[in-house]
A = this chain, B = another copy of it.
Amino acid sequence: MNQTTPLRHPIPDQLVELIAQRFRVLGEPMRIKLLDRLREGPATVGELVEATAASQQNVSKHLRVLLEAGIVSRAREGNFARYAIADEAVFRLCEEVCGGLRAQFAELKALIEEGTAR
């Protein structure tokens, strides 16, 4: 499980749409922050509000997006709603992105140092 299988080519339009949609869900700083907090473990909306320093309504809205994308899960507990990561794969995605960022910065750094060294 969790191994990636190669993509057919060309990727069918519907799948292209789904892929882009998933990326778009993650293309929002607030949602990344929420996921980052949920990495610690499940949390209620109030806890997430505190962690992100955003309004309750805003947090609720972004959680809905993440929920509909199947990235988080919701469980009602009395008056509270406890959200949790439903798809651990998102963290592999983030790490992969960070790896790419690191590589790019390393390249830039090398260029700058080469440029200033003489």
Contacts and interface: CB of A to CB of B under 8 A. Distances in A.
Interface of A: 2-7, 9-11, 13, 15-29, 31-33, 36-37, 39-40, 70, 87, 89-101, 103-104
A20 B15 contact: no
> How many copies, total?
2
A30 to B, nearest CB: 8
7 contacts: A5-B98, A16-B33, A23-B93, A24-B28, A25-B27, A27-B27, A70-B104
A86 to B, nearest CB: 9
Contacts of A3: 99
A104 B37 CA distance: 23
Nearest to A90: B100
